Amino acid sequence: MVIASEFFDLNTGAKIPSVGLGTGQSDPGVVGRAVEFAIKVGYRHIDCSPLYGNEKQIGLVFKNLIAEGVVKREDLWVTSKLWCTDHAPEDVPAALDRTLQDLQLDYVDLYLIHWPVRMKKGAVGFKAENLIPVDIPSTWKAMEALYDSGKARAIGVSNFSTKKLSDLLETARVPPAVDQVECHPLWQQTKLQEFCKAKGVHLSGYSPLGSPGSSWVKTQVLKHPVITEVAEELGKTPPQVALRWGLQMGHSVLPKSTTEARIMENFDVFGWSLPGDLVAKFSGIEQARLVEGTPFTSETYGSYRSLEELWDGEL
Q: How confident is the model at residue 74 (pLDDT cuts 50, 70, 90)?
A: very high
2 pLDDT higher than 60: no
Stretch 271-293: mean pLDDT: 92
pLDDT for res 52: 86
Mean confidence (pLDDT) of the chain: 93
Averaged pLDDT for residues 120-125: 91
| pLDDT value, residue 210 | 87
pLDDT for res 219? 60
Q: List, in order, residues 6 or more apart from 150 with CB less than 8 Å away.
A: 107
CA distance 311 to 315: 7
10 Å Cβ neighbour count for 189? Answer: 23
Average confidence (pLDDT) over 208-226: 73
Say if strands 21-22 and 15-17 run parallel, antiparallel, or are unpaired.
unpaired
Q: Which residue has the higher pLDDT, 157 or 290?
A: 157
- Residue 27 — very low, low, confident or very high, per pLDDT cuts 50/70/90? confident
CA–CA distance, 185 with 225 (Å, rounded to integer): 11
Task: Identify residue 5 by its one-letter amino acid code.
Answer: S
- Residues identified as active-site: 52
Percent of the chain with pLDDT over 90: 87
Q: Are 76 and 16 in contact (CB under 8 A)?
A: no
Neighbours of 90 (CB within 10 A): 9
pLDDT, residue 29, reads: 78
- Would you place residue 125 in the very low, low, confident or very high pLDDT band (cuts 50, 70, 90)? confident
How many helices (H) and strands (E) the chain has is answered by 11, 12
Given this model, what pLDDT does residue 3 score?
A: 46
* 158-187 per-position pLDDT tens digit: 999 999 999 999 999 999 999 999 999 999
DSSP result, 108-149 = BSEEEE--S-EE-TT--S--GGGEE---HHHHHHHHHHHHHH
Is the pLDDT reported for residue 271 higher than 80?
yes
pLDDT above 70 (res 64) = yes
**pTM of the predicted structure, to 2 decimals:** 0.94
